[in-house]
Amino acid sequence: MTDAPLDPRLHAYRADLADARLRGRVEAQRFTEGSPATLCVGCADLKPMPSAQAGNDSQLLFGERLRVFDRTDGWAWVQNESDGYVGWVRESTLGPLRAAPDHRVAALRTPLLPEPDVKAPPLDLLSFASVLRVTRYSGSYAEIEGGGWIFAAHLAPSDKADSDYIATARRFLGLPYLWGGRSSLGLDCSALVQLALGAAGLVLPRDSDQQETCEASGRQLPPDAQRQRGDLLYWPGHVALALDAERVLHATGGPMLVVEEPFAAIDARVQVERGRGLRCIRRP
C-alpha cells in the first residue's frame, strides 16, 4: 500500500469495493473491473452519496464516457473518463457505450430535436462541451448516434481547438454561479476554467486545488509575478482567469455570476475570507 492515501475524487475505492486497477494500492473487500456506459441526458448531477438530498460534487455532460462500478436503489457509482471524477449519478441517466465521439457542442447550449425541424419540440438541451458522434446530415441539421438532431452550426469537430480560451470563457459572462455546476446553465470557478481550456485542447482536472498542482495548467509562477492575459490565478479554494495585469474573469459566489472584476478587489476579499491572498499563478 502507498503511504499517502489516493484522492477519492479521482480514484474509485471504498472499504467494500474498489476499481480493479487499484488492486495493491488500496484495501477493499472486493475489486471490480466495472462496466462502460455513456451519459445519455443533457446534464446530470454527480453526488458524493446515492441520495437526491446530497450536495453536488460535479456534473456529467451528454456523451461523456463513464465506468460504472456499482448500482444500488436507482443510483450508479461511476468514474468520468473525461476528468477522472468519481461519484454517484442517477442510473436512469446512463446509456450503453457508443462509438467514439467526433464532434462537440460549441454553442453555449443547443436543443436536441426529434427531427431536423426548427419547430420540433426539443428532447433535451445539450450544453457546451457535450460530445457526440454525427451519423448523417440533412440540410442544416446533423443526426447523432443514439437519435436526435442538432443544428450543425452549433457543433465543432472534436479535433478542432478554439484558439483563444479567454474569448471562450467570456462567452459565459452573466451565467449563474452554481456550486458543483459544470454546464452552461450554471457552473463554478474551476469548471469555467476546465471548460474554456478544454475547448482549446488543454485537459485540466475538475477542482481548483487539482488544477493548481497539475502540470497541464502550465508553468508555475510566484504570486507576485507580473500577471498577463490567460494566466490562471489560484487562491485557496478559488481560481480566476487573468484578462490583463489588473482585471480577472471568474465564476464567483459573491454576485452568484460569471463576472469580470479588478484583481485587487477579489484578492482583498479572499484575504479577509480565507486568511491569505493569491497563492499561485499558472501560465498555460
CA distance 220 to 17: 37
pLDDT by 10-residue block (mean), the chain, 284 residues: 80 98 97 98 98 98 98 98 97 96 98 98 98 98 97 97 97 98 97 98 97 96 97 97 98 96 95 92 98
Is residue 155 within 8 Å of 235, Cβ to Cβ? no
* Residue 193: per-residue pLDDT: 98
CA distance 243 to 255: 19
How would you classify the pairing of strands 131-132 and 103-105? antiparallel
Report CA Rg, the chain: 20
CA distance 220 to 225: 10
Contacts of 141 (CB under 8 A, 6+ apart): 113, 116, 149, 150, 151, 152
* Residue 1: per-residue pLDDT: 43
* Residue 3: per-residue pLDDT: 64
DSSP state of 9: T
Q: What is this structure's pTM?
A: 0.96
At which residue does the C-alpha cell 477493499 appear? Answer: 28
* Residue 5: per-residue pLDDT: 87
Is residue 12 within 8 Å of 89, Cβ to Cβ? no
Question: C-alpha angle with apex 145: 76 to 98, nearest 5 degrees?
Answer: 45
Joined grid coordinates for residue 13: 475505492
* Residue 2: per-residue pLDDT: 45
Determine the distance from the C-alpha atom of residue 130 to the mean position of all C-alpha atoms in its chain, rounded to a whole number: 10
* Residue 4: per-residue pLDDT: 74
Which domains are assigned to the chain? 18-95 (2.30.30.40), 103-157 (2.30.30), 165-283 (3.90.1720.10)
Contacts of 262 (CB under 8 A, 6+ apart): 246, 247, 248
